[in-house]
Amino acid sequence: MILVCVPGTREEFVQEAKFLLMARMFELGRLSAGKAARMCEMNRIDFLLSCGRLGIPVVHLDNDEMEREFK
């Protein structure tokens, strides 16, 4: 058995691990932001803001869409 010392409570660790897994699944396109947020027991906006703080892109535009957006 390997013991790992992590700060915070077990519940905080589980919540963070759940968020990181769902954020990665969202980043890979395997889950929508809404579904990932629900699985983390967060609202969609907070989930997207948290992903952004981790450097995970929350908007996926192709070149044409990006060009239209910046006009």
In a domain, 20, yes or no: yes
Look at the block and give the residue holding tokens 């660790």. Answer: 13
User: How many domains is the chain partitioned into structurally?
Assistant: 1
Domain of residue 33, residue span: 10-70
In a domain, 29, yes or no: yes
In a domain, 43, yes or no: yes
In a domain, 3, yes or no: no
Say whether pLDDT at 1 is over 60.
no
pLDDT of residue 3: 58
Q: What is the pTM for the complete model shown? A: 0.76
Buried b (16+ CB within 10 A) or exposed e, 6-26: eeeeeeeeeeeeebeebbeeb
In a domain, 32, yes or no: yes
In a domain, 5, yes or no: no
In a domain, 47, yes or no: yes
Contacts of 63 (CB under 8 A, 6+ apart): none
pLDDT tens for 14-70 read 899 999 999 999 999 999 999 999 999 999 999 999 999 999 988 876 778 777 777
